[in-house]
Amino acid sequence: MKQILFKNTTISYTDAGKGTAIVLLHGFLENKSMWDFYVPNLAKKNRVITIDLLGHGATECLGYVHTMEDNADVVHAVLSELRIRKAIFVGHSMGGYVALAFAELYSDTVKGLVLLNSTARADSEERKKNRDRAIKAVKQSFVNFISLSIANLFSENNRERLATTIENVKKEALQTPLQGIVASLEGMKIRQDREVLLHLTPFPKLLILGEKDPVLNYEETKEQIENTAVQLITFPDGHMSHIENQDELLAVLLSFFKSI
């Protein structure tokens, strides 16, 4: 684990392997440990960087709202520290929003983009209300909020099969400070719509979705890539493809990286 200071805030990251730079960005309530299975496998032929986003893992909070742009600046600061000029980005859920913000701010640095269980669209009005409800809920009962939030990310038929793993995911999520959770919810709520990037950016793009994702509507999310060159991979499960479809996802990522 390595660290840099960004705006007097400690940012935690890892750096393994040599070759094409791959940046792995975790989702909300996750941290860089979500990539533990993938890093050794990907680092055989690539340089793999994982970063704890603001208020998650071992990275401190920066303020009361962590915008996707703030997180993109953090990622840029880490890559500058490592003197990496171009990289392929993989973002899970909120990590995908950060990767899109990064692609808008630092397009010359992006060699390829994978949106994993993520969307380029902004929150709908209903979704914004749900974020506000979530902020209220986590302030009222931290443990209950985490427990319910994590279980609901998996497709129903996997909840029993992956019970032990889900408990471990909950344990990691419980380490996320309240301020980090609220600041991320506020940041996701106000994020910009970046669907245009799926149409106009020149680098290769891949969208990976779960057909039974309880968080993202599969058909609606798929609509974004109509008439684009974005590749689509569909898994039969939920929002946590990196766990629910582990081996298949690894194969998909390796194939995509090889094609760039």
| Residues 157-215 pLDDT 10s | 999 999 999 999 999 999 999 999 999 999 999 999 999 999 999 999 999 999 999 99
**Residue 148's domain is classified under what CATH number?**
3.40.50.1820
Where are the strands (E) in 57-164, listed by range?
A: 87-92, 110-116
Residues recorded for the chain: 260
| Percent above pLDDT 70 for the chain | 100
pLDDT value of position 221: 97
Looking at residue 58, its pLDDT comes to: 98
Distance between CA 58 and CA 84 in Å, rounded? 22
Residue of 3, 117, 108 whose CA lies nearest to 51: 3
Sheet strands (E) in the chain: 2-6, 9-16, 20-25, 46-51, 87-92, 110-116, 205-210, 231-235
Assess contact for 135 and 65: CB atoms under 8 A.
no
Q: What is the pTM of this model?
A: 0.98
Return the amino acid letter for 240: M
The pLDDT value recorded for residue 162 is: 96
Query: Domain of 247?
Result: 2-259
Who's near 238: CB < 8 A, 6+ residues apart?
153, 154, 155, 158, 210, 212, 213, 214, 244
Q: How many domains does the chain have?
A: 1
CB 184 within 8 A of CB 56: yes
Please name the residue that has the structure tokens 């990767």: 99
Within the chain, which residues score under 70 in pLDDT?
none
pLDDT confidence of residue 77: 98
**Residues paired with residue 36 on neighbouring β-strands, in sequence order:** none
Q: Kindly give, in sequence order, each residue whose CB lies less than 8 Å from that of residue 42, ignoring residues fewer than 6 positions away.
A: 17, 22, 48, 250, 253, 254, 257
178-195 burial, b at 16+ Cβ within 10 Å, e below that, comes to ebbbbbbbbbbbebbebb
